[in-house]
Amino acid sequence: MLGATPFESQIKEIEREITLRGLVLDIDWANEAQVRKVAREALACRMDPAHPECRPTDRVMIARLELYGLAQLMLTLMRKSAESGFLTHGGDVWKSLGRALWLEAQEQKTP
């Protein structure tokens, strides 16, 4: 279905927050290798309070963990949108990260 979706405001909010974290982390969203690395790390990240990386103390690590969480939200929203019969379309950052997440997820499925 084309046009506005019930997910439009959530898409914009998530993309804005991803963009802000990308500024802190100096991510070039046009650099496919860099974005694929971020996607790979986001897919691998599991919150474990016992792990030191899950208790960050500096703003860069906090931004990194928040970005990973936002990537998971992004994937969840895309899945829910598809289940509801809507295609989700964000801006350039959304498309860059979304493509990288999809490619990395496909590679993880390949033995």
Structural domain boundaries in the chain:
9-106
Using the predicted structure, report yes or no on whether residue 1 has a pLDDT greater than 50.
no
Q: How open is the CA angle 105-110-111, to the nearest 5 degrees?
A: 135
Structure tokens that stand for 90 in this block: 């964000």
C-alpha 98 chain-centroid distance: 7
Global pTM reads 0.83
Pairwise pLDDT comparison (3 vs 111), residue with the higher score: 111
Per-residue model confidence (pLDDT) at position 111: 63
Q: Among 18-22, 54-58, 96-100, name the one with the lowest average pLDDT.
A: 54-58
